[in-house]
Structure 1
Amino acid sequence: MTLDQYRSVADRLLDPFVTAADRLGLSPDGVSVVAFGFAVAAGGAFAVAEPLWYALGGVFVFLNGWLDLVDGALARAQGVDSKGGDLLDHVLDRYADIAMLVGLAAGIGTWALGLAAVTGVLMTSYLGTQIQAVGLGREYGGLVGRADRLALIGIAGFVAAAVQSVGGVHVVELLLGFFAIIGHFTALQRFWGAMSDL
């Protein structure tokens, strides 16, 4: 079960933000780029690996996630949703995931674990879009979707700001290990689910 299933609830909360973005003359693609900027800022903050920066990184992650919802809702409200905008959004989301996870790994110097986490996250997202490419519709299911990842990264940023480790293991190391294992498991879960539907 993932937070992605509550997108319709989030969409209802977006109206004031979509209205504000529209009045400011922002385009959906512009909002996507700003969201990506927050992801890069989060990665940079996490790389510093100090309490204040971890907390700032958590804030930046939540801003990235919220704006990632706003861009699609704004596109629909303006009647300009397009395949090009969807493609841009997906590409920036993947680079955003990489920026945040690399920042987390850099902060504590766990490159191998960071690589395992990044590949798990990318394979989860890849399977979601590849399933769509074979005609089964966009797949958001599995144990951990993007909304879940963003929530966990943001929360981990705040936890790391308060306590560096749990049971002698760094909070970030626990998070990266979780993404490494669950990311690949979710990708395989999506794969087998899609294969059974073909």
Structure 2
Amino acid sequence: MTLDQFRSVADRLLGPWVSAADRLGLSPDQVSVLAFVAAVLAAVAFAVAEPAFYIGGALLVLLNGWLDLVDGALAREQNVASDGGDLLDHVLDRYADIAVIAGFTVGIGAYALGFLAVTGVLMTSYLGTQIQAVGIGRAYGGLLGRADRLALMGIVGVVAAAYPDPLVAEFGVVALLLVLFAVIGHLTALQRFLGAWRDL
């Protein structure tokens, strides 16, 4: 993970957003749902796969990631952090991941590649929670955390809008992103499994 190490910097920038959400009477769970809606809209935009929609999708993905930080900060501000809210947040995050990767996949019609990408992302997350379930502690290790993935999705949306033609062989930037998620996701899941197995 690379961007997660800057979480404290992001936390300092959340103040105005948290205050605005609080003034609007939003609960942390409602912000989590809004973040998920942004991801679904991003998926639709990426599925259209046209330059303006790629830009819109990129902005919506970044909004999803930002609101995903706001909901936790708002819960702390309102002193309403709960296991239920944490569960909802994690479930919606996984569905958001699926939706956005599905949108990219539909946009370029690379369904087998999309399957490998989404299973890599989901297995990475699953191994983290399963390791915690067996009592070792939550595993966050790996090359690409969720913050990294969201940043890459946003960047790829912009690049795909500017350079729709293949970049490497017949692979465009979206296909290369899916390859990256597939390879790194499954390698990270394997890394987490082997690390946990040694600790058992």
- TM > 0.5 fold call: yes
Aligned-pair Cα RMSD in Å: 1.1
Cα drift, residue 48 of structure 1: 0.2
1:47 aligns to what? 47
Cα drift, residue 77 of structure 1: 0.9
The residue type paired with residue 29 of structure 1 is: D
Q: Which runs of 4+ in 1 moved over 4 A?
A: none
Gaps of 5+ in 1: none
Moved more, 31-40 or 183-192: 183-192
Whether the 8 Å contact between 1:29 and 1:85 is mirrored in structure 2 is yes
The residue type paired with residue 25 of structure 1 is: G
Whether the 8 Å contact between 1:2 and 1:141 is mirrored in structure 2 is no
Gaps of 5+ in 2: none
Matched position secondary structure for 1:166: coil
For residues 149-188 of structure 1, give each alpha carbon's deviation from its aligned partner in whole angstroms, at most 9, with x where no partner exists: 1011110000001001313421110000110111101111
1:166 aligns to what? 167
Distance in 2 (CA, whole Å) between partners of 1:30 and 1:19 is: 15
Distance in 2 (CA, whole Å) between partners of 1:77 and 1:195 is: 38
Cα drift, residue 9 of structure 1: 2.2
Matches within 5 A, 1:1-198: 1-164=1-164, 165-167=166-168, 168-198=170-200
Distance in 2 (CA, whole Å) between partners of 1:137 and 1:122 is: 18
Q: State TM-score, norm by structure 1.
A: 0.96
The residue type paired with residue 169 of structure 1 is: F
Distance in 2 (CA, whole Å) between partners of 1:90 and 1:125 is: 10
Moved more, 6-15 or 28-37: 6-15
Matched position secondary structure for 2:140: coil
Q: State TM-score, norm by structure 2.
A: 0.95
Whether the 8 Å contact between 1:4 and 1:140 is mirrored in structure 2 is no
The residue type paired with residue 13 of structure 1 is: L
The residue type paired with residue 183 of structure 1 is: G
The 3 A distance-change label for structure 1 pair 12 and 196 is farther
Q: Identity of aligned pairs, percent? A: 72
Distance in 2 (CA, whole Å) between partners of 1:197 and 1:44 is: 42
Matched position secondary structure for 2:142: coil
The residue type paired with residue 177 of structure 1 is: V
Distance in 1 (CA, whole Å) between partners of 2:33 and 2:196 is: 31
The 3 A distance-change label for structure 1 pair 62 and 188 is same
Distance in 2 (CA, whole Å) between partners of 1:138 and 1:10 is: 22
